[in-house]
Structure formats: C-alpha cells, structure tokens
Structure 1
Amino acid sequence: MGKATKEHLSRLLSSHLNNIHETLQVFCHTPAASLEKVSWDEVIQMGEQVSKQATVAGVLWTGDAPDVKELEENMGVYFNMLQGFLLHTHGSTVGAGPTLCSSVHASAQQIVNCSFSLMKEAVSSYGSRNKDSKLSIPHLAGTVWDACNALKKTPTTNYTAIGRAITQVAVSVKDVLREMKELKPGSADQADEMHDEAAADVENEPDNHDNSSDCDLGNDLSLDEMKIAQLAIDVVSDTLIVLKELIRFISSLLKQLNSNNSSHPIDSLERLLKISQGIGVQVDELGASLYPPQEVSALKTAAEKISVGINEMKVEVSIFIGPSEGFLQACEGLDNSVRMLESKLSSSTPDTTDLQSKMHNVAISM
C-alpha cells in the first residue's frame, strides 16, 4: 500500500512539474507592450504566498503518518501558487529590456528550482524512516523562503538592472587592476638564477609536477616591460573611472525618470552595457598579455579596441540630454592613457611571436 501510494504521489508530482515547465515557456516570449504591466509589489506578494505554502509543506510532509489527501491538496495548492507567481512575474516585464528580463527571470527560476527540490525530496522521503531525509525537507523549505525573499533585491527598472550589470564589469576590471599592480621588475641576474633553480628542481624531483609556484609569476619584467605595464595600469585605472562615471550617469537618468516620468531609449542603455562588457574583455586581455614575455601585438589590439569602445560609448551617451561632465572628462583621461600606451608599444621591441616570425622569414629567404 505504501509503495503504491508513493508511486501515485510521484506521478502526480511529475504532472505538476510538467505544467510548470510549460508555464516557463512564456519567459521565452516578450510580453506585448499593449498589456497592462504587473507591479513588482504584486510579484513580491505572490512570492510570499509561495514561501508560506513551502513552510506548510515542510511541516505537513515531515509529520507522522500524513494523510495522503492532504499531501495531494498541498501539492496542488503549492504548484497553482507557483504557476500564478510565474505568470505575474512575466507580466511585470512589460516594457523591460533584455537585461532586466534576464534578472527577473533568474530570480523566478531560482524559486522554481528550490520548489522542485523541495517537492521532489518530499515525495522521495514519503514512507521513509530515514531521519536525515526528513530533516532535509525543512531545510529545502527554507531555501524557497530565501529565494522568495531575494525578490525584494531584484532590480525593477531597466536603469537599475543595467547599472548593476555595469557594476559587475567594474568589479572585474578592479580585480584585473589589482593583479596588474602586483607586477614587479626582475633583477639583471634573475633569468640565470631561475634557470639554475629550475634545473635543480628537475634533477631532484623528476616526478613531481605540482611544486611549481605561481607566486613569482610576473616578478621578472624588464625595465622596458615595466614601463609598458605601468602605462597599461593607467589605462585600466582610467577605464574603472569611466565605468564609475557611467554608472553615476545612469543613476541620474533614473532620478529624472522618477521626477518627471520621462523615459529614455532602452536600446541605447543596452548598447552602453554591451560596450562596457566589451571593454571589460579587452581589459582582461591587457592584463593577461603583460606577463613575460609580453605580447605586444595583443596589447596593441586590446588598446585599440578599448579606444573604439570609448568612442562608441560617447556616441551613445550623447543621445541623452545633458551627458555628465564627469563622464566626458573621464573618457578624455582614458583616451590620453590609451594614446600613451599605444605610443610606447609602437616604439617597443617586437614581441617574441613577431620576432620568431621575422626570423623564420629570414631563414626561408636564405
């Protein structure tokens, strides 16, 4: 009897899970602009109902000899609430751009994932005498509560969502800057010393490949390479300033929206984010190319792309009324830093790849 009941509950759960999966398909489509937008407060309220029902489920499914009809009803109510929550969430994205939609959907998906885990564990543990399995249900109910509570921190405007995404780029750039500042010049005899130490390690520990340390990586730059590194550090530092000013500018647009109900082109905001992310990729490339032997050609390419990105960013910002003076000054500072780096790279010794290529061509001509 117990086995048959558990199989029945499993089939019922599968049916509910399939219904939720079908409901999630609405997230693949942008709601029509003509639809009435659901307020985010309503979404939060629906989330709170899901959270309360999860708590009820946690108590009910861990009780002694729970009534099967009650379990069925609990499961039905829970998934009906979850479905209603998803439909409300989708309705809240009327007029939302891709970045805001992505943030909203991610929050909703987290609640779905936690709910699935809770109900699967509940059904799986039905009739079990395993105490650990029973104890896991309240914990999983708690994860649903946490996910629902996190809705209060989900961005509710395109400006906030894009501002947070650009902030993530800025955090990444700051990490690269910190690593770049750890680069140090090496001594004149350091190359010979490193060669001797490496030879000794190979002789003494031929089978050990895990004793190499990365702590000294980047500590053997020549003076010329250190000059390039310092100029690259200036570029990345100024890039961080530009991103901070851009975030401040977008925040000012949100204040304008709140004060006079004006709106701004969402496509331009999305392009600003895309440009920022592209610049972030080039900053990563700068940082990676500074380690010896420095890749001059890669550094040049990254610097050029950052310069192009800044110009594109200024064009997008000019679409809005009253671009920030601080932002424009930051862009000018970054332009100067990039030009100085490019000038230094143009006068520096070709990197190893270029030199090997030229030597190969000489060998062929001979």
Structure 2
Amino acid sequence: MGGSERKESALAVLIQKHAHTLAEILTLFREPAPCGAKKVQWKEVITAAEGVARQATTAGILWKDKVSKKDGMANINSYMQALQGFLLVSHGSTAGAGSTLLSRIEHVSRQVVESSLNLLRTAVHGKDRPGVQLPVLVGCVWEACEAIKKTPASNRVAIGQGLTQVAVSVKDVLREMGDFEENGASDLASDSANLNAVTETGMPYDCDAGVKGEADSSDESGDLSNKLSSNEMQVVHSVKDFVSCLLSLIKQLLHIVGGTIKSSKDKSVPDTEVILWLEKILVHSKALGDGVDELGASLYPPQEMDNLQSTVEEIEGLVEQLQEDVCSLLGSMPEAFLQVSNSSKDTAASLNKVLEAVNRCSLG
C-alpha cells in the first residue's frame, strides 16, 4: 500500500470512528431531553449550526488541493467536534417537546450530520473522481444548516405546520379533481340529471346511457375525462364537494391551533395536556389527509365503488374523532368548526347516495 493510500485509509478510519459517535448521539433523539434539565434556547442551536456551516466552508477550501495527513486529521477532528456540539445542544432544546416537534428537530439535525459526513467522505475518497464537486457538497451542508433557522422552536408551531401540510395536500387533491371536472364537464352534463334522479327517488336508471363514455376509453390520445363515464364524472363531482368540506374543516383546525399559540384562556389546563390533545388532532388530521389521497387515487378508472365507500366511512369516523378532540381541548366546539363538521357529514351522505346509485348500475 502506497503512502497516499495509507493516508486515505487512516483518514477514513478516523471519519468512521467519529461517525459511530455521532450515531450514538443521534439515538438520544428517541426521547426528548429530561424536563428537569435546563432547556437549550433555539438560538443556541442556530449558532451551533452556523459553526458547522463554517466548518464545511473550511473543509471545502482545504480539500480542493492535496492535503497532508496531519492537516486532514486536524480538519476532520475539528469538524466532528463541531457536529457533536451541535447535536448535543439540538437535543438539549427538546426538553418538553412533543412527538411532532421532537421528530422535526431530529430530522433537521440528522440532515446536518449526513450532509457533513458525505462531504468529508467524498473529500477523502472521491475528490479526484470525475463529476465530484466539493462546492456542491458544501452547499448541501449550508442548506441543511439553513433549515435549522426555519425549524419550529415550539410544540404548537410544529403542530400548526403539520396541519398546514395536510391542508396543502388536500388542496392539491382538490385541484386535480377540478381538472377532472373541467375536462369532462360536457360528458357529465348529459347524464347528471338521470343519476340525481336515482339517488333521490330510487327509481331505475338507464345504465346503458350512463356508460356511453366508456366507448372512448381506448383512445390513447384522449384526455382522462374521455376514459370516465358520465356516472364516474358524477362521482368525481360528489367527491370534490366532500373534500372541499374537509379542507374547510382542516382550516378551522388551524384556527383552533392558532388560538392556542396566541394564548391559553384556561390557565388551569396544564400545557402538557394541551399539547397532548393538539398532537391527537394532528394525528387524526394526517389520517384524514391520507383518506383524501385515497379518494383522489380511487377516481381514476376503473373506479372501485366499494373502496370509495369504505374510505368515506373511515373519513366520517375521523371527523367524529376530531370533534371529540376539539371538545376535549376547548371544552366545547366553536360554532364555525361545528358548522363545517356538519357540512362534511351532509356531503358525505350525498356522496354515499351517488356511490350506491353508480354501484347498482355497475351490478345491473
């Protein structure tokens, strides 16, 4: 083994040793820091992350040329010490953190570590390889450290951001349904009156007329709307109404969480109990968002009525659970939240009628 290879081997061993230590520190994030310990302020975590970013800059400059074993080891040790210090203060900031905040802090902290290790390992082993650009890897570390500044420093803000992500996901599904409706409006209009009649009166329905759009399903150049029957387009319309109500429900939950961020009117309720209920609201909201995703996916042909009906039933149960969560948190349901909850139940009932009607036609 040549001198250069021995040097790289020694540097690689040193990196691996430090990486093992970092991995052990990261296991601390399985639980928040003890509440009895002094909570590290988030600004200290930001400062530590800025120190890591400076180390990345130094490494990028140093390793672009040939580096002696001594200088390489000194750089690695200095960088790793900065990373260890960053992880320790980051975990120290989690005292009193709920599961959502703890998960966010663990994620962004891990990104800083992983991007840094990638930089150093590439600097030692791959800086002479074609296509390897250390400045790009330094930039990845900078981005990971910059993300620390955007990370919520409190439970309520973290939960609020989680709810916002659910709202954005639901809105994306709604937008896709809107595209379905826009492209298939002409097909839907010709048959919606007949389908409405069967959902309201239970009278027999002309299923042959209702599937006229299926004849065009083999046209590869056609839009998705050409592959949906007018019955299926009516399902899209009804699902869209239901999901619109669910989006309003999520928005009301954001108002509720925002209210607890600003102030807590009932000072007799411990903060830990408030966070517990907010966490439950977020868990059930995420499950609701997953249900909406499932509804959106189920609208593609061939539509499976049984799957749509079961998903609607699951979402209805989640709405009931969210009502219980809000009552437990606030002692009662705000009027606006109650209204959107009732609207979601009404639109769910209407959607179920449509699904039952279409299902009867498919079975007939």
**TM band (smaller chain):** 0.7 to 0.9
How far apart in 2 are the matches of 1:223 and 1:118?
56
Alignment equivalent of 2:165, drawn from 165, 168, 173: 168
User: Which is further off, 256-265 or 231-240?
Assistant: 256-265
Q: Does 1:273 align with 2:282?
A: yes
Alignment equivalent of 2:156, drawn from 156, 159, 163: 159
Does the Cα contact within 8 Å between 2:217 and 2:227 map onto a contact in 1? Answer: no
- TM-score, reference length from structure 2: 0.82
How far apart in 1 are the matches of 2:359 and 2:337?
35
- TM-score, reference length from structure 1: 0.82
Aligned CA distance change for structure 1 residues 23 and 350 (closer, same or farther; 3 Å): same
- 1:163 deviates by 1.6
Match of 1:282 in 2: 291
Does the Cα contact within 8 Å between 2:40 and 2:92 map onto a contact in 1? Answer: yes
1:94-120 superposed Cα distances (whole Å, 9 cap, x missing partner)? 111111111111101110111001110
The runs of 5 or more residues in structure 2 that have no matched partner are: 191-208
The runs of 5 or more residues in structure 1 that have no matched partner are: 198-211, 357-366
Match of 2:197 in 1: none
Identity over aligned pairs, percent: 37
Alignment equivalent of 1:139, drawn from 136, 139, 153: 136
Letter in 1 for 2:241: D
Q: How does 1:36-185 map to 2 (within 5 A)?
A: 36-63=38-65, 65-125=66-126, 133=132, 136-181=133-178, 182-183=180-181, 184=184, 185=187
How far apart in 1 are the matches of 2:288 and 2:131?
49
Letter in 1 for 2:235: I
Letter in 1 for 2:335: E
User: Which is further off, 3-12 or 143-152?
Assistant: 3-12
Q: Does 1:242 align with 2:249?
A: yes
User: Which is further off, 281-290 or 105-114?
Assistant: 281-290
Match of 1:209 in 2: none
Q: How does 1:342-353 map to 2 (within 5 A)?
A: 342-350=352-360, 352=362
How far apart in 2 are the matches of 1:323 and 1:299?
29
How far apart in 2 are the matches of 1:249 and 1:230?
29
Match of 1:31 in 2: 33
Aligned CA distance change for structure 1 residues 223 and 10 (closer, same or farther; 3 Å): closer
1:38-74 superposed Cα distances (whole Å, 9 cap, x missing partner)? 11111111111111111112122224x4343222122
User: Which is further off, 73-82 or 298-307?
Assistant: 298-307
How far apart in 2 are the matches of 1:338 and 1:193?
30
Alignment equivalent of 1:297, drawn from 291, 306, 310: 306
How far apart in 2 are the matches of 1:141 and 1:240?
40
Letter in 1 for 2:153: T
Does the Cα contact within 8 Å between 2:238 and 2:350 map onto a contact in 1? Answer: yes
Does the Cα contact within 8 Å between 1:60 and 1:66 map onto a contact in 2? Answer: yes
How far apart in 1 are the matches of 2:176 and 2:276?
34
Does the Cα contact within 8 Å between 2:216 and 2:226 map onto a contact in 1? Answer: no
Match of 1:13 in 2: 15
Number of aligned residues: 333
Match of 2:203 in 1: none
Does the Cα contact within 8 Å between 2:166 and 2:289 map onto a contact in 1? Answer: yes
- Give RMSD over aligned pairs: 2.7
Match of 1:336 in 2: 346
Q: Does 1:229 align with 2:236?
A: yes
How far apart in 1 are the matches of 2:100 and 2:215?
52
Does the Cα contact within 8 Å between 2:101 and 2:152 map onto a contact in 1? Answer: yes
Alignment equivalent of 1:254, drawn from 261, 274, 280: 261
- 1:345 deviates by 3.3
Match of 1:202 in 2: none
How far apart in 1 are the matches of 2:344 and 2:291?
14
Does the Cα contact within 8 Å between 2:213 and 2:228 map onto a contact in 1? Answer: no
Aligned CA distance change for structure 1 residues 68 and 285 (closer, same or farther; 3 Å): closer
Letter in 1 for 2:163: I
How far apart in 2 are the matches of 1:16 and 1:95?
29
Does the Cα contact within 8 Å between 2:214 and 2:228 map onto a contact in 1? Answer: no
